[in-house]
Structure formats: structure tokens, C-alpha cells
């Protein structure tokens, strides 16, 4: 996931602006509209909650997020974000981390299910109950204390697989204990709300009335209100609420395109001798013209989607954007036309990553022409916007909304690559005697690494052309990933300055995820079941947390290639709970774990870093010839084959 760009100067500038006039945390704290059962330490707790939604018969869920600017977290300058972008949602993220503050709570003494024993979360007496009120199903999860906040130690409850789009969930906490094993009493406000009916003029009457159906649902499933320490409910955004912006611009753009290839221009052709490059014979650069739906000319960083009065994305006043591309054509293509493949680059990088050694090796060894475009919204040019958004989350919509244009750009580049009147109509994609270098009778496939995998799942779910993809060293849900990524330390400096309270930071990360869902795999994972996806995971990855990949595998229904790890390499208990094993060869989605000998990652919400957790294995799977052979077989046949001789897969250090 790592970006190679330098950040210190921008971080220093943000720091200077925030510290110059920063008020105290207390002065920045908003009080109006706070949930009275949350304990009073942070306005939006517990989170997510239907206390912060309103009925709306015009949405697919019948509800709409209804944040007031007073309840959203203020930064160190006292700025509260405009809630408009959040209030378009008809529910919360399907990957929401549930956040609550229970003073003195000890999850071990309380018997909560840790990440190493997720199955325990479904025990009848589990102290945390997640109930799908739509179906009556208990939902698997793990619980932990925020290890980044030793002072207030928020409780974080993570779904072990994503919640279902549009469903209503009820959360119950019961039998909570402190480190000494003593029972913890519920806070006074919740005790009143969960108790006998309050008078209409009681300050807590409205909260009791709103929560009563959830308490009745719990009681109907054997969880008595009198046993509760805290309970609340929330609605997950609908499929249209999560994916509607992207599908709207996709459908409009492709409808205008019809059966034609997108317009493209070749701007550069470089031929290499075998001495210059034994693997790649030709590099081609150019641009593809794509309809723009962004507010700024050329879709510049900081753009958001242009919207009509009903909030639906509309075409930009500036017409089009140019998606810059770079393609690597292997030597074998001059003998036999190559397979068309899109490549997805890493964290805040660029299309130039398609020229990396491992990508060239994959192209040369297995006959792929890889083309890449920048993931605009999460590309190198967006770094200043990302930093500014961490300083003021009101600026954050520019990241996922520009990312959706970036996903559309990738679809158009892919269409141009795979269309017979697309790239192959240019002399740059033909031999001297006119034969095409790319076989456009073969289906377009995708291979991405790190951020290329995290965003790639959204691309694959939304693209009408891609049915088979490899997501390398992948995961999903930045709200889960960031605390666990060694990459985030550089960006965390800005977050610490702008939102210095660590409990507030957890709320901020989940608010960001609610918008991020529209531009990364987390919002689309429930709809990847009809695609074939191979997930390659680096065990102990320092940059993309293994737990995020596990949640993704459970959500998309990927099978686990076993044995996944050698004895003694994983946690004490079942490390891949809920992921069914695959019998090879396997036709369908799967997850393969590649072990380079790096220590197992921490079980807390902290990143594995050197030297305590050894060297970072993040680049190892893509650098393995065996892994590339497995990827190539999957992309061309849809089958996951055994390349590890029936043993756990290992990848030598890159």
C-alpha cells in the first residue's frame, strides 16, 4: 500500500496552520443532538446509531442519515464539517466498526470474543450480541479495546464479515466487567431508557421511544432488557445508497459510448532491444477520453461529483477528462497476441507502477499486456487533498468522489484495451506487418496490488467487462485498515494535530469510511459473488492488515486454499474462522496465504513494524514465480491451481 512520495513538508505546513490558533478540545466539543445514552464523552457514541437518522420513505431503507453540524467532530481549529455528503446516505457502512465507551471495561474479564476466537461471538451467552433484526441471525464479530488510547480505551466491535446492505441491526452489551472481575453498572441514562416507561416531558422520553423497538427485538431473541449494560440499533446503507453514484455515472457514460471503443490517443512509443529489456518489447503511453462528472476542469484534485437538485451525479460542465495510460507489451506478443489486462497501482501512486519488475515478469512469463491508469482520487496528485482532508474531514468527499471518476476512467481504459477498434487500431499496438499485439477476442482481466487490490474490488464489481481478477496483498475497509497499517504513521501526524483526542479519531475514521464505501471494495463486497476473485495475502503484512483480508474473504465467499500456514505459524486458535476450505483445482473465488517467515501480526489495532515484527513481506507474493504462475492460470482459466505441492505456500523475501 506504500507510496514513495515525500510528505514532511506538507505535514509541517498543516501542523503550522493547526497549532497557530488551536482551541482546547473542550471548546471544540459540540453538545447539541448528542445521544444521551453514550456516556457524554463523545457526541456520536455509541456509533453507528439510528439515533442519528430520520425516517425517509424516499430511500430504499426508509431512513436517511441526519447529522447536524453540531454533532460532527470539530477539529483543533473548531471547524465542524458540513454534513451534506454524509446525509445523502440511507444508512451506515456495511463494514462499520461499532464504537462505545464503557469506563473500566476489560474485554477479557467480560468474556468478549477476540480476533483469535471469533466463533465465541456466537455463543448464547456472548457479552456482545449483534443481531440482524431483518433476519433474526446472530452476527459474528470480534471485540477489542482501542490500544491507541490508553486513557479512555474505547470498545471497538468489528463484524467478522460485512453487514448486509439495507438490513437493520441491534447491538447489545451485557455482563460487562472490569479488570478485577467486578460487574460494571450501566450508565444512568441508559438504565432509565431501558427501564419503565418515562413521562412524555422526561428529557429521555424521546430516546426511550426510539429505542424501544430494538429492546423488544432483543427480548424476543432471549436478551432481556434488564440484563443490558448498553444497547442501540442502526441501519446499513442500501445497495443503491452505497453504489448508486458509481453505477449512475457508469451507465450514463457507457450508454453514450454504445458499442464503440472509447476515443484514445497514443502519445509515446518506446521500443526496447533485448539487451535493454529482456521481458518488455514495447512501452506505449497515451490518453483515453472519458465523460467527466466532476466539478473542476480536467477533474483536478479536489473535485467532487457534480450533482443535480436531487443529488444524482450529472455530467460535468467541462465535458471530458483524459485518462492517462501506460502499457507494457511483452516480447511474446510479437509472436502470439497477448492477453488484455488492467493493472492497479499502490497507495497514492501512479500508472508508472505498471513498469515495476514483478509486473514485467508477469507479462513476459505468461503473455499479458498490462495497461494502467492513475487511480485518481487516491493517486500521487491527490496527496495534498488527502492531507487536507485529515486536517478537516469536511474536505474528505473529494477523495471518494474523485475516486469514482477514477474507477470510471479505468473502465474506459480497459474497454479501449479489449475492444477490436480500440488500442489495437493504433500502429503502436501492432507488429510491423500489421498483426495485433493484443488478442481482443479474450476477456479483459485485472491484476492489482495493495491499494490496487483495495480499490480493485470496487472496479471488478462495477465493471461490465471484468469477470476475473487477482487482488494482491489486499483487504478492504480503510476504517479498519488504517490503525493497523505501518503506512498510516506518516499521515497520522496530521490526524493527531487536527483531531488530537484518540477516542474522537475512532469516530472520525468511521465517518470517513461511510463516504469511502462509495469508492473502495468495502461498499461493493456484498456484490462480488458473481465475479471470480483470487486474493493473494502476505502473512504478517505490515501495510495491509491480514484481518481486513479475512473479513473480505468471508464477505465475498472466497474459499481458503489449505493448508494455509505451517503448524505454529498462526494464532493459538482457528485463524481463518468462517472461511471454507477449497479443494484444488477450484473454480471460483479463493484466498491464498503466502508466508515469508515474518512473525504473526499483532492481535491489537496497531501496526506490525520493524524490528519487533521482522521485515515487511508486503511485496513478496507478487515477486514469487510460483505466485505469478497461479495468478496467470486463474486469470486465463478461472481455476485456482496448486503451485505449492500440497503444502502451505511460501514466498522468498523479495
Is pLDDT of 535 > 60? Answer: yes
Share of residues in the chain with pLDDT > 70 (%): 94
Split at pLDDT 50, 70, 90, the class of 1 is low
Is pLDDT of 8 > 60? Answer: no
For the chain, state the CA radius of gyration: 25
Q: Once rounded to an integer, what is the mean pLDDT over residues 569-597? A: 91
Cell 439510528 maps to which residue?
Answer: 50
What residues does 290 pair with on adjacent strands? 321
**How many of the other CB atoms lie within 10 Å of CB of 465?**
18
- pLDDT tens column, 151-173: 999 999 999 999 999 999 999 99
Residue 208, H or E segment: helix 205-220
What's the mean per-residue pLDDT of the chain?
94
**Cβ proximity of 562 and 585 under 8 Å:** no
d(CA 481, CA 194): 35
Is the model more confident about 628 or about 10? 628
Quick one: residue 391, left, alpha or beta (phi over 0 = left, psi -120 to 50 = alpha)?
alpha
- pLDDT tens column, 319-355: 999 999 999 999 999 999 999 999 999 999 999 999 9
> What are phi and psi for residue 354, nearest 5 degrees?
-65, -15
Q: What's residue 571's pLDDT?
A: 66
Minimum mean pLDDT among 17-31, 88-102, 239-253, 466-480: which range? 17-31
Q: What's residue 573's pLDDT?
A: 62
Q: What's residue 2's pLDDT?
A: 53
Minimum mean pLDDT among 24-28, 99-103, 154-158, 452-456: which range? 24-28
What residues does 650 pair with on adjacent strands? 595
Q: Once rounded to an integer, what is the mean pLDDT over residues 86-108? A: 97
Q: What's residue 572's pLDDT?
A: 61
Query: For 558, what's the count of Cα atoms within 13 Å in the CB-facing half-sphere?
Result: 34
Is the model more confident about 489 or about 334? 334
Split at pLDDT 50, 70, 90, the class of 364 is very high
Is pLDDT of 14 > 50? Answer: no
Q: What's residue 25's pLDDT?
A: 32
Cβ-in-10-Å burial (0-12, 13-18, 19+) of 547 comes to buried
- pLDDT tens column, 497-513: 999 999 999 999 999 99
Split at pLDDT 50, 70, 90, the class of 568 is confident
Is pLDDT of 385 > 80? Answer: yes
- pLDDT tens column, 36-57: 999 999 999 999 999 999 999 9
Q: Once rounded to an integer, what is the mean pLDDT over residues 378-386? A: 97
Q: Which of 426, 271, 452 is nearest to 356 (CA)?
A: 452
d(CA 548, CA 607): 13
Topology adopted by domain 25-237: Immunoglobulin-like (2.60.40)
Give 355's DSSP letter: G
- pLDDT tens column, 211-269: 999 999 999 999 999 999 999 999 999 999 999 999 999 999 999 999 999 999 999 99
d(CA 331, CA 283): 11
d(CA 585, CA 56): 48
**How many of the other CB atoms lie within 10 Å of CB of 214?**
22
The domain locations on the chain are: 25-237, 238-361+372-386+394-442
Is the model more confident about 31 or about 451? 451
Q: Which of 344, 287, 222 is nearest to 622 (CA)?
A: 344
Is pLDDT of 15 > 90? Answer: no
Q: Which of 484, 474, 477 is nearest to 144 (CA)?
A: 484
**Strand bridging mode 559-561 / 581-582:** parallel
Q: What's residue 220's pLDDT?
A: 97
Q: Once rounded to an integer, what is the mean pLDDT over residues 395-417? A: 98
d(CA 209, CA 200): 10
pTM, entire model: 0.95
d(CA 269, CA 277): 15
**Does the bond joining 292 to the residue before it have cis omega, within 30 degrees of 0?**
no
Is pLDDT of 9 > 90? Answer: no
Record the cell numbers describing residue 447, joined without a space: 491484476
Amino acid at each position: 500500500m506504500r507510496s514513495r512520495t515525500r510528505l514532511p513538508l506538507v505535514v509541517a505546513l498543516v501542523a503550522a496552520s493547526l497549532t497557530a490558533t488551536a482551541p482546547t478540545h473542550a471548546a471544540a466539543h459540540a453538545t447539541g443532538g448528542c445521544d444521551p445514552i453514550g456516556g457524554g464523552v463523545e457526541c456520536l457514541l455509541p456509533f453507528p446509531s439510528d439515533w442519528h437518522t430520520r425516517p425517509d420513505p424516499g430511500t430504499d431503507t426508509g431512513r436517511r442519515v441526519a447529522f447536524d453540524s453540531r454533532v460532527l467532530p470539530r477539529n483543533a481549529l473548531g471547524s465542524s464539517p458540513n454534513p451534506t455528503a454524509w446525509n445523502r446516505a440511507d444508512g451506515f457502512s456495511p463494514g462499520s466498526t461499532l464504537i462505545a465507551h464503557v469506563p473500566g471495561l476489560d474485554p477479557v474479564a467480560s468474556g468478549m470474543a477476540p480476533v483469535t476466537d471469533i466463533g465465541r461471538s456466537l455463543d448464547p451467552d456472548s457479552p456482545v450480541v449483534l443481531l440482524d433484526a431483518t433476519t433474526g441471525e446472530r452476527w459474528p464479530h470480534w471485540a477489542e479495546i482501542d490500544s491507541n488510547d490508553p486513557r479512555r480505551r474505547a470498545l471497538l466491535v468489528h463484524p467478522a464479515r460485512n453487514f448486509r446492505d439495507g438490513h437493520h441491526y441491534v447491538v447489545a452489551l451485557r455482563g460487562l466487567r472490569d479488570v478485577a472481575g467486578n460487574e460494571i453498572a450501566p450508565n444512568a441514562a441508559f438504565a432509565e431508557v431501558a427501564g419503565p416507561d418515562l413521562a412524555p416531558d422526561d428529557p429521555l422520553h424521546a430516546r426511550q421511544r426510539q429505542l424501544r423497538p430494538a429492546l423488544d427485538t432483543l427480548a424476543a431473541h432471549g436478551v432481556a432488557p434488564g440484563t443490558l449494560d448498553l444497547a442501540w440499533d442502526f441501519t446499513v446503507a442500501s445497495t443503491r445508497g452505497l453504489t448508486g453514484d458509481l453505477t449512475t455515472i457508469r451507465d450514463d457514460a457507457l450508454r453514450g459510448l454504445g458499442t464503440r471503443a472509447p476515443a484514445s490517443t497514443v502519445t509515446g512509443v518506446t521500443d526496447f532491444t533485448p539487451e535493454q529489456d529482456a521481458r518488455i518489447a514495447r512501452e506505449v503511453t497515451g490518453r483515453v477520453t472519458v465523460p467527466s462528472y466532476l466539478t473542476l476542469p480536467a477533474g483536478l484534485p479536489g473535485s467532487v461529483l457534480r450533482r443535480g437538485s436531487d443529488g444524482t451525479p450529472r455530467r460535468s460542465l467541462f465535458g471530458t477528462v483524459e485518462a492517462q495510460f501506460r502499457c507494457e507489451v511483452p516480447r511474446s506478443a510479437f509472436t502470439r497476441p497477448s492477453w488484455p489486462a488492467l493493472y492497479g497501482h499502490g497507495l497514492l501512486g501512479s500508472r508508472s507502477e505498471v513498469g515495476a519488475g514483478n509486473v514485467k515478469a508477469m507479462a513476459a512469463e505468461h503473455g499479458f499486456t498490462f495497461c494502467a491508469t492513475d487511480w485518481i482520487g487516491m493517486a500521487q496528485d491527490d496527496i495534498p487533498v488527502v492531507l487536507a482532508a485529515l486536517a478537516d474531514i469536511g474536505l474528505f468527499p473529494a477523495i471518494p468522489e474523485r475516486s469514482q471518476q477514477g474507477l470510471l476512467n479505468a473502465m474506459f481504459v480497459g474497454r479501449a484495451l479489449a475492444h477490436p477498434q480500440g488500442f489495437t487500431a493504433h500502429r503502436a499496438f501492432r507488429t510491423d506487418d500489421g498483426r495485433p499485439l493484443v488478442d481482443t477476442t479474450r476477456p479483459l482481466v485485472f491484476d492489482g496490488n495493495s491499494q490496487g487490490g483495495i480499490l480493485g474490488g470496487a472496479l471488478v464489481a462495477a465493471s461490465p467487462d471484468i469477470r476475473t481478477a487477482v487482488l494482491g496483498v489486499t483487504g478492504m475497509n480503510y476504517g479498519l485498515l488504517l490503525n493497523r497499517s505501518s503506512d498510516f504513521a506518516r499521515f497520522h501526524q496530521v490526524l493527531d494535530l487536527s483531531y488530537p483526542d484518540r477516542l474522537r479519531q475512532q469516530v472520525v475514521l468511521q465517518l470517513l469510511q461511510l463516504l469511502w464505501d462509495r469508492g473502495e471494495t468495502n461498499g461493493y463486497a456484498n456484490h462480488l459473488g458473481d465475479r471470480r476473485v483470487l486474493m493473494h495475502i502476505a502473512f504478517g503484512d505490515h501495510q495491509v492488515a491480514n484481518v481486513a483480508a479475512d473479513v473480505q474473504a468471508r464477505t465475498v465467499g472466497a474459499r481458503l486454499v489449505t493448508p494455509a500456514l505451517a503448524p505454529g505459524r498462526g494464532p493459538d486458535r482457528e485463524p481463518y474462522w468462517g472461511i471454507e476450505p477449497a479443494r484444488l483445482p477450484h473454480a471460483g473465488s479463493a484466498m491464498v496465504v503466502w508466508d515469508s517467515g515474518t512473525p504473526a501480526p499483532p492481535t491489537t489495532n496497531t501496526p506490525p513494524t520493524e524490528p519487533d515484527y521482522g521485515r515487511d513481506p508486503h511485496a513478496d507474493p507478487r515477486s514469487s514465480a510460483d505466485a505469478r504462475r497461479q495468478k496467470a492460470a486463474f486469470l486465463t482459466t478461472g481455476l485456482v491451481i496448486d503451485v505449492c505441492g500440497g503444502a502451505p505456500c511460501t514466498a522468498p523475501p523479495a
